[in-house]
C-alpha cells in the first residue's frame, strides 16, 4: 500500500500542477478537464483508463459531453499518495495531447 502524503508534500505537488486543487474532503485532489467535444473527452478517458489499469489505481470521475470531472485519492491510504500524483500528471499530459484545457 502507498503511504499518504503529508499536507506539506501534497501542497508542494499541487503548486506545480496546473489546475489541480485540494478536494473539499481534504483527502483527494480534483480537476475539471474541458475538451472540444465528446469524442476528445472520451479519447482522453480511454487513454487514462489504460494507464490507470497498469497502475492498478483508478480515478473517480464523471463525463458530461466535453467535460471530465476528476477526483483522485488512494482510498486504502485514506488520502492522496504518490500514485495519485503520478496519475494526475499523466492526465495532464494525456489532456494536452487530446486538445484538453
Domain of 80, CATH number, reads: 3.30.1360.20
Q: Which long-range contacts (CB under 8 A, 24 or more apart) does 42-45 make?
A: 43/98, 44/68, 44/91, 44/94, 44/95, 44/98, 44/100
In a domain, 36, yes or no: yes
91, three cell numbers:
492526465
Residue range(s) defining the domain that contains residue 92: 27-97
Number of domains in the chain: 1
Burial group, residue 50, by CB count within 10 angstroms (0-12, 13-18, 19+): exposed
Q: Average pLDDT by consecutive 10-residue portion of the chain (101 residues)?
A: 90 95 94 96 96 95 97 94 96 86 69
DSSP 8-state symbol, 6: P
Residues in the chain: 101
pTM for this entry: 0.93
Amino acid at each position: 500500500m502507498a503511504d499518504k502524503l503529508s499536507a506539506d508534500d501534497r501542497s508542494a505537488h499541487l503548486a506545480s500542477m496546473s489546475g489541480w486543487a485540494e478536494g473539499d474532503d481534504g483527502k483527494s485532489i480534483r480537476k475539471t478537464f474541458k475538451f472540444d467535444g465528446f469524442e476528445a473527452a472520451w479519447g482522453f478517458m480511454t487513454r487514462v483508463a489504460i494507464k490507470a489499469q497498469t497502475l492498478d489505481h483508478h480515478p473517480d470521475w464523471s463525463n458530461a459531453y466535453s467535460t471530465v470531472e476528476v477526483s483522485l485519492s488512494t482510498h486504502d491510504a485514506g488520502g492522496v499518495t504518490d500514485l495519485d500524483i503520478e496519475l494526475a500528471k499523466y492526465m495532464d499530459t494525456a489532456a494536452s495531447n487530446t486538445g484538453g484545457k
